[in-house]
Chains A and B, each alone.
Chain A
Amino acid sequence: MAAADSPSAGLRRRDLCSRGIRLAGKMRSDVMDLLDTYVEWQGLDASASVAAVEGVPVAAVERWDEQTGTQRLLENLAAYRAFRVLLAQMLEEQQEQLGEADTALGRALAAVLLQVSAFTYHLEELLQLESRGTPSEEVAVPAPPSQLGLFERKLRGLGVLRELAQWAVRSARDLRQLAKPSPGISSAPSPDESP
């Protein structure tokens, strides 16, 4: 926390939070566009319901408003590291499936992957500002079962993107909560700011 007390650390945190919020917003926007593209490319129904996918972090959380800032950051970091792996898998599958890399879907997936990476960087920087250090890179994302059929993989991808969109919304709120001038980021947010 010592670092967070310095003015420059405060500015740095606000800057990171601000850009993280906007990045989350853009990420959501791009993920929404990507969902449309994905549904179209994969021949899926946009209204198809997808059951919870194993290994995909869930944005919804109980008592969100009671979380501390560090807790939020850590949950976000874990989620986006998982999304980074999942999206990389999806990109690889998409390239294998379509046989070419430079497609609109591929470009969109790569762009979202980059944004997820960028957001992960933001979270790591914020955690460093909190003098928390970043947890190890190991992410407990199970590799897609090889026995999954093509359709299941498409649906899994759809679930990943939908959850990512949810996380983008939550992350923006988390960072907005962190950006508020407060005695400490560990303080609990007010109830009205819960997602």
Chain B
Amino acid sequence: MPESLSFGIDPITAHAWNKDRTKLAISPNSPEVHIYHFQRGEWKLEEILKEHDLKVTGIDWAPNTNRIVTCSADRNAYVWTQSEDKKWKPTLVLLRINRAATCVRWSPLENKFAVGSGARLISVCYFEKENDWWVSKHIKKPIRSTVTCLDWHPNDVLLAAGSTDFKVRVFSAYIKEIEDRPVSTSWGSKMPLGLMMAEFSNSTNGAGGWVHSVNFSSSGDRIAWVGHDSSISVADASKGMAVSVIRTDFLPFLACLWVSENRLIAAGHGCCPMLFEVNETGKVQFAGKLDASLKKESSGVSAMKKFQSLDRQARTETNDTSLGTLHQNAITSVCLHTGNKANATKFSTAGVDGLLAIWDFNNLESAMRGLKFN
């Protein structure tokens, strides 16, 4: 059974863990960020970060430098650092955008972060020591609509962005002021800031949908994305940018995450995390539902059930309004918990139902023994 923590009735719009997973930052669909600390067997609210004016849309916690970055619909981002008295102090970052920020991600080396926005651009921000402030550089072309999701390549330079213009693009976010020239990768060798290394369309043969989430695999060669047309796609730069798509039977996914070089998790409006696998030929395949709990789904209404419910609860309607899955509403975000993208053992999901669940592959494997893996 996955471990689940309830944070009330408000939807959890974003969540992030600290390095040793003893602290959790979540935003309950408001301008606030709540920091929880695991002490003596339970999660206690440690601090509330109140600086944003409008809803917080993204949170990311840098594990090694222990800094939190938050972005909001108020067009701002703050970098929070913990002072000696353990309180979090904000530093404003001028993103220079005239629309809401939608998502934020620290780079793997934590020397910069990228913010996607409705202003049709990505702000890549780094700390300028001379002036003691955060500076942002923009990546604009050829993004034509809101950037909805971001993910960094392990080389700390390349950035993948999904957008509501139905495209997924890989850009170079190389900042010459703070880093050395990157070595060439399967995505290309020349990487000046803002250069688009690859572009993928989420609308092959007419079917389209906004891109909700994008994720680089641990090697950086593969990139997966999920779209609102209930599709999941994987592109492989080491195989000539070959793309494999499945248009699934499920409701659209909102988040995806690689858990090994060949397996990924996707979760979303279906309220259930799904496992997908990429086989040797590069084709994506559905591998199974990870939520085998509570089989309350019954296709028909039996006469016995009807009379039982009438007898016990004076209720003539036998329609149970609760879902057969752990999450009772859409899952909005998925984060790595234990392990890394090459080999993850636990991951966390947070949803519109205010629930945060931690899924353990070791427990799930036994439940999934009946499923075949290629």
* Bound together: no
B-to-A contact residues, CB < 8 Å: none
Interface residues of A (CB under 8 A from B): none
